[in-house]
Every structure is written in structure tokens, then in C-alpha cells.
């Protein structure tokens, strides 16, 4: 199967849209996002601390139902920042609920708490890409087009479409930048739990039926699901260096094509000796405001495992076979992301531990080196100098793990997570310190 291949027989984006927008038309799902205090307060701060991008300006809110419209607080923030008018673009039936709030603004004085919305917000129920969207060029576009690992749900494409069609020259985007981070992790518990579920299919006499022919398929299915959930930040075998190891998406300049097919280079140095069970990912957002103004106050938000929890959580891509790494060892590779027809991405990852060995070309067909059944499971190769892991995941086929409840106390050390620090030993005779 080519690395460019999408899900077989998957419905088109058009066929998926009714279910997708139907999900976001439900108040309970909007509530889940509204109650994400990190998300809501970040957007509110970005608006109120950069009022020059909103005051007496024409503003477009893309995907408003998912973002702010249901979030009455945020819409209020927009109007309090002095926006001349807000064009709220929302494809789902959440637009009707938004209009209900707007109509309430026309009640007699003192009868409505939504008076600040009166004559300020125009709700347009349509996808931003629909040709019938009747809106002028605007000074500022605000959106929350973010999904798991930044890009899931492919709403950033709508954000970029709005930028190209509706943003005035010199206008502002909120947010204007996203950065994706990857790191190697260890989690024996997660691996054991997943293997335990797969081993159900090793039974030879399940009510008289031999299930073992399905074991390879079950194992492939379980390990090919990205695991979404918060996890112990101390379980990272190496951490990205802020400003150096992140893969940046500049929403001011990024093209549609570069969103749909991109490769994230991987280069880490293991800080511990241990078993690498896979690759973890998360993202940061930046709201720069007006970078040409001294009054601008950039606002940042992180979904890193050590940061305050958000509804996006983090995601982990787990190998079927752990990879042994040593402290100080180089870990190299890439992650190749290609859009699929499920409003998401097909993700290929290849990793090599050790300085030797040549990485595969991400653009070449995904053809494992083992027997045919391994084609759906990923593969591993070993030589005397390096070890390789490669696998494929569909970002939309997510499993969820909520076992992590919060930061561990200071009594938790790396060895409790089966991670081992290098030991410095001083030569008793020469006074020389060695790392062993």
C-alpha cells in the first residue's frame, strides 16, 4: 500500500460532513469545549490583550459554533473589544442556537443580558467554502480549527481558505501559529494492557472455536489505533527543545498543499536507558496579535503533558514491539502525514535507534520487509549496528486512555517507570569521572 493511500472505501468529505457537523450541533459537545478553561481563557486573553486587532474592525469567526458562538463569554469578549461587526460562520445547526441568543438581544432594555450582541453579530449558516457565503473582506479572522495533534479534523484548511478569500491585506489571524511536538515515550502498563486485549484472540477453544487465526489482525488493529489521553510527563525518554525541535505551522503563510502532505523530521538524544514503546505528540498555539505594534501582547497556549490539562489531551503512537534505547543514543526518523477521506490523516512513522542505518524515503510506498500479514502491522529490522521500527496509524481511529489522573509526587523517580539514568563513576586513582 502506498504511503499516499487513503482509507479504502471511505466516504468522501462531503459524505462525512452531515455526521461531523451534526456532532458539533449538540450542546453537550459544545459544553465540553466551553468548560476547557485553558482553551476558553486563552482565546479571551488573546482578544482582550490585543484590542487594536478588534476595535472598530470587521471580524470573521470561522467555525463559530465550535469556537465562540456557543461560548457566550468569548463572543462577549469580541464585542467588548470594540468590534464593529462580527461575521459568525457556522455550518452546523449550532448556528440556529446562536441566532436564538442574538434574537434575545432584541428584548426590551433590561430584559436581556445579551444586549451587547445586538446589531453586532451576523450568523451565517454555511461552510466557509460555500460560494453563497456573503461576507466582505475583514480585518481579523479568529477561529479554533484545532484537533488532536493540531491537524485532526482538517479544519485548519477552512481557516486557510478563509484567510485567502476574506482577509484584508495586512489583516490578522487568531491564532497565527501552531507548533507540533514529538517525543519518545515508555509505558509498560499501556503496552501490557493493549497486548492483553489482543491475546483474547489467542484462545484455541472459545466455546469450541479456535480464534487464533484472528490474533494477527486483532494485534494490528489495536496497535494501529493512536492512543488519546493525558500521560505522565516523566515517561518521556527525551524531550523536545522549545524553539528547535517543534514542527511549525505558520497560518499566515502555509499553503493548502503543505497542510495535506507533510513530513516531520525526528532527531532525539535519549536521556535514559529503557524501552521506547512509541512516539508521543502534542502542540502549542501562538496568538501574536499585531507584531508591528508595541502594544501587542502575544499569548501562548500549550497542550504538552506537563502543562495544564486541555480537552485535546495528547496522542501516542505505540509500536507493536518496543525499541530498546541507551542513554545518550541518537534516535532518528520521520513522521509522514497525508490527509485521508475521514477528515483526518494517515500517519506513517519510521524510527532508527543508533547512528548507523539509512532512513527510508517517506514518499516511497509503504512495503514492509516481513511476510505479507505484516503489511498492516508495521515492521522491524535489526542489524549489528541499528534497529528500525516503522508503522502506520489512522489518526481518526483513536483509542482513549484515561488512567493518568495528574502529576506524580516528587517521590516518583525514573526507575519507577523503568527508565535508567547514566551513572557517573569516579576513578579512585586518577580522579577521572566516567559515564557507564
Active site residues: 144, 153
Residues in the chain: 436
Separation between Cα atoms, residue 282 and residue 304, nearest integer Å: 6
Give residue for cell 496497535: 223
Give residue for cell 485548519: 156
End-to-end alpha-carbon separation of the chain, Å? 44
CA atoms within 13 A on the CB side of 114: 22
Separation between Cα atoms, residue 427 and residue 10, nearest integer Å: 64
User: Cβ–Cβ contacts within 10 Å for residue 403, how many?
Assistant: 12
Residue 206 is placed in which grid cell? 472459545
Do β-strands 167-174 and 138-143 pair in parallel, antiparallel, or remain unpaired? parallel
Of 284, 280, 300, 302, residue with least CA distance to 233: 280
Q: What are the phi and psi torsion angles at 46 (to 5°)?
A: -60, -35
Locate the DSSP E strands across 105-162. Answer: 121-124, 138-143
**DSSP alpha helix (H) spans, 147-287:** 156-166, 188-199, 215-223, 256-260
Separation between Cα atoms, residue 339 and residue 343, nearest integer Å: 7
Separation between Cα atoms, residue 332 and residue 351, nearest integer Å: 6
Amino acid at each position: 500500500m502506498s504511503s499516499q493511500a487513503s482509507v479504502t472505501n471511505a466516504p468522501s468529505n462531503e459524505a462525512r460532513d452531515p455526521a461531523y457537523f451534526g456532532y458539533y450541533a449538540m450542546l453537550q459537545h459544545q459544553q465540553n469545549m466551553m468548560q476547557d478553561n485553558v482553551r476558553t481563557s486563552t482565546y479571551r486573553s488573546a482578544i482582550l490583550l490585543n484590542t487594536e486587532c478588534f476595535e472598530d474592525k470587521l471580524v470573521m469567526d470561522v467555525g463559530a459554533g465550535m469556537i465562540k458562538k456557543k461560548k457566550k463569554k468569548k463572543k462577549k469578549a469580541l464585542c467588548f473589544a470594540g468590534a464593529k461587526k462580527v461575521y459568525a460562520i457556522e455550518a452546523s445547526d449550532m448556528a440556529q442556537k446562536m441566532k436564538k441568543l442574538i434574537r434575545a438581544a432584541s428584548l426590551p432594555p433590561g430584559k436581556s443580558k445579551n444586549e451587547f450582541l445586538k446589531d453586532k453579530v451576523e450568523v451565517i449558516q454555511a461552510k466557509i467554502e460555500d460560494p453563497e457565503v456573503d461576507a466582505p473582506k475583514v480585518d481579523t479572522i479568529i477561529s479554533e480549527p484545532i484537533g488532536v495533534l493540531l491537524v485532526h479534523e482538517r479544519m485548519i484548511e477552512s481557516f486557510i481558505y478563509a484567510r485567502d478569500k476574506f482577509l484584508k491585506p495586512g489583516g490578522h489571524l487568531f491564532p497565527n501559529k501552531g507548533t507540533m511536538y514529538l517525543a519518545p515515550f515508555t509505558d509498560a502498563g499501556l503496552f501490557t494492557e493493549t497486548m492483553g486485549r489482543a491475546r483474547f484472540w489467542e484462545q484455541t477453544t472459545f466455546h469450541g472455536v479456535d480464534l487464533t487465526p484472528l490474533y494477527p489482525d486483532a494485534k494490528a488493529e489495536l496497535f494501529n489505533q493512536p492512543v488519546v489521553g493525558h500521560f505522565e510527563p516523566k515517561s518521556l525518554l527525551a524531550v523536545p527543545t522549545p524553539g528547535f525541535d517543534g514542527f511549525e505551522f505558520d497560518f499566515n503563510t502555509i499553503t493548502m498543499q503543505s497542510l495535506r502532505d507533510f513530513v516531520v523530521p525526528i532527531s532525539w538524544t535519549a536521556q535514559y536507558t529503557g524501552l521506547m514503546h512509541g512516539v508521543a505528540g502534542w502542540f502549542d498555539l501562538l496568538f501574536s496579535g499585531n507584531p508591528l505594534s508595541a502594544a501587542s501582547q502575544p499569548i501562548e497556549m500549550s497542550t504538552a503533558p506537563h502543562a495544564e490539562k486541555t480537552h485535546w489531551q495528547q496522542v501516542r503512537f505505540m509500536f507493536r514491539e518496543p525499541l530498546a534505547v541507551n542513554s545518550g543514543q541518537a534516535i532518528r526518523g520521520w513522521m509522514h502525514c497525508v490527509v485521508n477521506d475521514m477528515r483526518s490523516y494517515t500517519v506513517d512513522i519510521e524510527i532508527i535507534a543508533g547512528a548507523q542505518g539509512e532512513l527510508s524515503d517517506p514518499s516511497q510506498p509503504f512495503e514492509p520487509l516481513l511476510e505479507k500479514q505484516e503489511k498492516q502491522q508495521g515492521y522491524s529490522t535489526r542489524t549489528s549496528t541499528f534497529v528500525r521500527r516503522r508503522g502506520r496509524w489512522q489518526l481518526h481511529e483513536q483509542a482513549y486512555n484515561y488512567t493518568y489522573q495528574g502529576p506524580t509526587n516528587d517521590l516518583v523517580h525514573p526507575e519507577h517507570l523503568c527508565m535508567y539514568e547514566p551513572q557517573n563513576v569516579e576513578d579512585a586513582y586518577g580522579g577521572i569521572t566516567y559515564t557507564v
